[in-house]
Amino acid sequence: MSFEGPRPVIGPWMLLVLMSGPLLFSAAFSLVVLRFPAMDTVGLHPTLVAACGLGLFFSGGVKGADEPSASRAHSITEFDGKDGIDWQVVNDGVMGGLSEGKLTPSEAGTMLFSGMLSLENNGGFSTFRSGGLKLDLSSHLGLLLRVKGDGRTYQVRLATDAVFRGMEVSFAAEFTTTKGEWVEAKVPFSAFKGSFRGLDLPEERLDTSKVRRVSILIGDKKQAPFAVELDFIRTYGASAP
């Protein structure tokens, strides 16, 4: 059924209403339909049909602009070799220990950190760490790591420009693994505690705007083989600017 009476004027004025805002457009469109209930889409003026489509388009755009920005993660590394990070293994041999650790990248874009933890000669740790970084993570809440481990507890460590006796302060927090299963471990920045070569530094606070190094360490005082595979290290809890 088409409208047989006087055709409403729905040309330029409707476009003007559309430019005024989606809500005003919707109200105007509703009045037209209610005022002329006999007309259907066949009898609608082409300008109105076009305006309706544009109204829906702009309405969605305005709504998106008014909504809070979505949470957006920052990738520190995907372990695919494309981030330019030079990873290095550091064992307790630097202090006379006998622990051994190595890195093995995979074709799937993961990194396997494995080896043998030894408690002999006052040793007991193995770690791999990045080269120098310049990361501002101050708008994020913590780190998210996707790992497949051996059921042991590991540490993720961050370094900033904080020093103690002229040496780099380490800020560490633990994460657990499930043997043979991929898990995502959330480590809030509030959990990181400062230390220097085993000496706790409770007065030190992690400055996430000045992250200069990222490390993964095992030092759970268990003399046994270890293995943890990492898929990525990202942040969580950030809002897009």
- Structural domains of the chain, ranges and CATH numbers in brackets: 12-66 (no CATH), 75-236 (2.60.120.430)
Three-point CA angle 134, 101, 84, nearest 5°: 30
> What pLDDT was estimated at residue 60?
39
Q: Which residue has the higher pLDDT, 43 or 112?
A: 112
Token pair listed for 158: 């961050």
Q: Which residue has the higher pLDDT, 146 or 27?
A: 146
Q: Which residue has the higher pLDDT, 42 or 120?
A: 120
Neighbours of 176 (CB within 10 A): 12
Q: Which residue has the higher pLDDT, 235 or 46?
A: 235
> What pLDDT was estimated at residue 40?
47
Which of 40-49, 60-69, 191-200 comes out lowest in average pLDDT?
Answer: 60-69
Three-point CA angle 103, 106, 107, nearest 5°: 155
Of 146, 227, 228, 144, give the one whose Cα is nearest residue 189: 144
Of 186, 191, 176, give the one whose Cα is nearest residue 228: 176
Token pair listed for 223: 């003399």
Dist. CA 89–CA 106, nearest whole Å = 17
**Mean pLDDT across 223-233:** 98
Highest mean pLDDT pick, 38-42, 70-74, 88-92, 236-240: 88-92
What band does 241 get if pLDDT is binned at 50, 70 and 90?
low
Burial 61-75 (b: 16+ CB within 10 A, else e): eeeeeeeeeeeeeee
Contact indicator for 48, 40 with CB cutoff of 8 Å: no
**Mean pLDDT across 58-63:** 37
Residue type (1 letter), 212: R
Residue 228 CB partners (closer than 8 Å, separation 6+)? 112, 113, 114, 147, 148, 149, 150, 152, 154, 177, 216, 218
How long a stretch of residues is the chain?
241
Three-point CA angle 194, 84, 179, nearest 5°: 60
> What pLDDT was estimated at residue 151?
98
Contact indicator for 203, 93 with CB cutoff of 8 Å: no
Residue type (1 letter), 237: G
Residue 81 CB partners (closer than 8 Å, separation 6+)? 105, 109
> What pLDDT was estimated at residue 19?
43
pLDDT tens-digit map of 143-200 = 999 999 999 999 999 999 999 999 999 999 999 999 999 999 999 999 999 999 889 9
Largest CA distance in the chain: 99
pLDDT over 80 at 229, yes or no:
yes
